[in-house]
Chains A and B, each alone.
Chain A
Amino acid sequence: MNEELWFAQLAEETPLESAIPAPSCLKSLVYSHLISEAETEGPLLPLPETKAAGRGLCVFEHLIEILPVGAPLQNFQYCKICHARVLGERVEQAPIFWPCCPYSEFQNR
């Protein structure tokens, strides 16, 4: 068989992709970086609007959402000061089990 064809066929039959998922720490870091990028462009969407769009809030965000506080507090990214972020960025299979917490959802369980 022609060498060029042999290699082309080998590549076609060998996708090389494995079943390994992205490490949860990497997902957590990417998320934190994207949030930082978003904040450089303007305030995050207020929590009530996120909820109205059908996306769940974690227990801490839910608490803020029902408090009679102004826009700056509704826009703040509470994950920055949350233990779940610290664990999520540093520990694979981190013991985070909060519902609607991105860092919990990034765990490959």
Chain B
Amino acid sequence: MPSPATIQDTDWALAQAVLARDRKAIAEFVMLCSDPLYRYVRSRLQPRFDFVDDLVQEVFLTAWRSLPQYRGQSPLKSWLLGIARHKVEDHYRDRLRDLALPDDATETIPEPSPGVDSVLDQARSAAITSAILAALPEPYRVVLLWRYWEQRSAEEMAAITGKTPKAIERLLSRARQEFRQQWLTKPEEAAR
């Protein structure tokens, strides 16, 4: 009995059909990948939803041009999300690049505020987190998303943006402080 085709086999066959310029395969490719891709990009650009559609289209066009390099070693959706991650980072870089960041080594970095380890259920915590992120000034939001959700170090972010690691650390510190302030003072308002 033949072994069932894996997702990668199916996805590789779909990629080959797309490369053969089969119009219905191209539609299948869009159907397969657009929802997870849109959700990912939307979550990482919130609340700047005005950038989302353009970035999603850009990811698909890049994927189209890179498809000959797809070897079917991972599901097509994951492969496309990998491209999306790079595009989101390009977006973060552009948002931070022209920003004048403080680079004064003598300035005191604020100490973490204590007492935010309150027990919240996960859904509520997620709602509050989203609301606070959406309300933060853009540089703070971008740097937090980049550091903790995309898991890039301050050094990596500095290299990508052309800033110094110290400047990124300082921005991160201020962003964390502002986030925690809002978490402590107005979680109810933030979650609304």
Contact = CB atoms under 8 A, between A and B. Distances in A.
A1 B21 contact: no
Interface in A23-64: 23, 26-27, 29-31, 33-35, 37-39, 41-45, 49-50, 53, 55-57
Contacts of A15: 43, 126
Interface string B100-113: 00000000000010
B57 A29 contact: yes
Contacts of A100: 24
B168 to A, nearest CB: 14
B181 interface: no
Interface residues of B, number: 46
Given A7-B144, A18-B42, A27-B34, A55 B28 contact: yes
A45 B17 CA distance: 9
A105 B27 contact: yes
Nearest to A41: B21
Residue from A1, A55, A56 whose CB has the most chain B CB atoms within 10 Å: A55
A41 B56 CA distance: 22
Contact of A10 (B17, B38, B43, B148): B148
Contacts of A16: 43-44, 46, 126, 129-130, 133, 149
Interface of A: 1, 3, 6-8, 10-11, 13-23, 26-27, 29-31, 33-35, 37-39, 41-45, 49-50, 53, 55-57, 77, 79, 100, 102, 105-106
